[in-house]
Amino acid sequence: MTAPIPRSQPLWFRRLGHCEYAPVFAAMQTFTASRNADAPDELWQVEHPPVFTQGLAGKAEHLLSPGEIPVIQVDRGGQVTYHGPGQVVLYCLLDVRRLGFSVRMLVTALEQAVIDLLASHSIAAHTRPTAPGVYVEDAKVASLGLRIRQGRCYHGLSLNVDMDLEPFSRINPCGYPGLRVTQLRDLGVHLSPATAAEELLPHLGQHLGYSCFGWVEGLP
């Protein structure tokens, strides 16, 4: 991967805590539509109540038995995935054009940040050329889904930390029947979602070209 252009501006890390999916989704769209050329990039960290999100290419047959868990249609790429308590969701509100990234470079940067985090805990992880995300052996531990509009992106990545994985059995995760999923706890890494997010931040910053960070609370 080509080294990113170093940036002197801070990357803002916005902690949202526990928040319903719909208002965060709406805020991402508003933030992206209203940002100007000087708006700083932000990463939003959140835990959602149980929800399935279905991407633009989503097919109904990948929703096997959602039951009482709501299904929300969204405007990212990809198929269906699950968000729930105990999972780190990091939304990437980035000016991709300003960063000088292609879509492939951005996906690679996000994936490699997760791989680096796992490596720091002696876990070997890898990617798959035809299925974005991060895997440990044959089980998926992190998922990616992005939307780029006029050179700016939103949505992002989710990392399974310490959660109930049962809802993944109600879908074909990311459109792959029988795909196994795993989480940090089952890999012997005992972190809270908040701590996992804090450890992931410098890895993300490195691969995006940032070395200076700021923190803020709540939705903009």
Domain spanning 11-217: which superfamily?
A: Bira Bifunctional Protein; Domain 2 (3.30.930.10)
Say what the pLDDT of residue 78 is: 87
Whether the per-residue pLDDT at 4 is higher than 80: the answer is no
Q: Compute the radius of gyration of the chain from its Cα atoms.
A: 16
Give binding residues for substrate as ranges. Answer: 76-83, 143-145, 156-158
> Catalytic one among 19, 92, 174, 212?
174
The pLDDT of 155-184, averaged and rounded, is 96
Q: Which two tokens stand for residue 102?
A: 């292609």
Distance between CA atoms of residues 213 and 205, nearest Å: 8
What is the per-residue pLDDT for 1? 58
Over pLDDT 90: what percentage of the chain? 88
Binding residues are 76-83, 143-145, 156-158
Span 108-131, average pLDDT: 96
The residue with greater pLDDT, 7 or 212, is 212
Confidence of residue 2 (pLDDT cuts 50, 70, 90): low
Confidence of residue 146 (pLDDT cuts 50, 70, 90): very high
Say which residue, 210 or 131, is predicted with more confidence.
Answer: 210
Among 154, 130, 151, 131, which residue's Cα sits nearest to residue 141?
131
Mean of the per-residue pLDDT values for the chain?
95
Is 212 catalytic? The answer is no
pLDDT in tens, 90-100: 999 999 999 99
